[in-house]
Amino acid sequence: MIKKSKAIIFFGTDDFSLITLKALTTSGYNISAIITKIDKPSGRGHKVHYSPVKQFAVDNNIQYFQPNNGAEMFHDVSSINGARIGILSSFGKLISLDVINLFEYGIINIHPSLLPKYRGPSPVESAILNGDDYTGVSIMLLSEKMDDGDIYCQKKVHLTKKEDQAELYKKLGELGSNTLTDILPNIIDNRMAPFKQDASKATYCSLINKNDAIIAPETTNAIDAERKIRAYSSYPKVRIRYRDDEIIVLSSHLQTEDEKTDNAIVINFMDKKNLIIDKILAKSGKIISSKDYLNGYCH
């Protein structure tokens, strides 16, 4: 099979998506068009910023579409000539069956969990929050139901219990993209058949919101707090009340028996265990240490 013989429409938006998109282009696949979410204002001043995937499309002169709804998406995809296969990675919106059916080979999705475990929008965070020993990626066919499609291949990765949100997304993004580029020729040449999921073993995770990242030490165990800090280190970032201030915590660790706590923020939790705060996001946006905070740097 000549890789460039099959035009691909890529669905994606964020940094996790970009890993796959770069891997496909580097491997010689023909990305004929990109479907990405509409631009939204973010950050201070609510300026509109391009998503990583849209920026890649602009930089590499690839046509892109940003449909507002399902009808627009169907129209946009229908207008793209020659594309027979779709690749989706962290697109952020559900794809309707009428759009899926436009593709001879369907839409292949990279999902960052070992399905049917953690169907839904936050599988990476859920693996950290639950203290899992391992997680992985599933290369699957997209279906109308959320994360219910048949699976081509799965790859497992063991967890150190130290990964934070960004690190695990990157690790799984690279594993998923490498796996996809390896097996895509076999899929296109009909030398690989997917297998069905066992729906009876399905578990689900929910959309993360800012309230999930507010920690009250008097009602939380220290180990759960440490996991939350890692799981939400990029978004939405954990907030904990310390003295008369609310601090945004980026990293922490459980205090060992003989560990000294000079020049460090120490928070006692419901289970009588202590968490030492390592890094904080200051009000200025600068990342500072506990020591800096206690020495008066808080702006």
Q: Before 41, cis peptide (omega within 30)?
A: no
pLDDT, tens digit, 9 for 90 and up, residues 169-195: 999 999 999 999 999 999 999 999 999
> For 228-252, what is each residue's pLDDT tens digit?
999 999 999 999 999 889 999 999 9
Closest CA to 141 of 197, 223, 207: 197
User: What domains can be seen in the chain, in order of their start residue?
Assistant: 3-201 (3.40.50.170), 210-294 (3.10.25.10)
How far apart CA 238 and CA 234 sit, in angstroms, is 9
| Location of structure tokens 């859920």 | 126
Q: Looking at residue 1, what is its pLDDT? A: 41
% of the chain residues with pLDDT over 90? 83
* Residue-wise DSSP of 240-293: EEETTEEEEEEEEEEPPTT---TTSEEEE-TTS-EEEEEEEE-TTS-EEEHHHH
Q: Which residues of 187-211 are buried (b: 16+ CB within 10 A; e: fewer)?
A: bbeeeeebeebeeeebeebeebeee
> CB–CB of 14/90 below 8 Å?
yes
Burial of 226 (0-12, 13-18, 19+ CB in 10 A): buried
pLDDT for residue 53: 97
Q: Return the residue matching tokens 């309230």.
A: 211
For residues 39-58, give the mean pLDDT: 84
pLDDT tens, position by position, 75-128: 999 999 888 899 999 998 889 999 999 999 999 999 999 999 999 999 999 999
> Does pTM top 0.85 for this prediction?
yes
Is 257 a residue whose pLDDT tops 70? yes
Is 2's pLDDT higher than 50? no
pLDDT for 81 equals 84
More confident residue, 38 or 49: 38
> Is pLDDT above 70 for 21?
yes
Mean per-residue pLDDT over the chain, rounded:
93
Would the pLDDT of 5 be above 70? Answer: no
CA dihedral 177, 178, 182, 184 (to 10 degrees): 0
9 pLDDT exceeds 70? yes
Reported in sequence order, the residue ranges of the chain that DSSP labels E, i.e. its strands, are 7-12, 30-35, 40-42, 47-49, 64-65, 83-89, 107-111, 134-141, 151-158, 214-215, 238-242, 245-254, 265-268, 274-281, 287-289
pLDDT at position 40, please?
Answer: 80
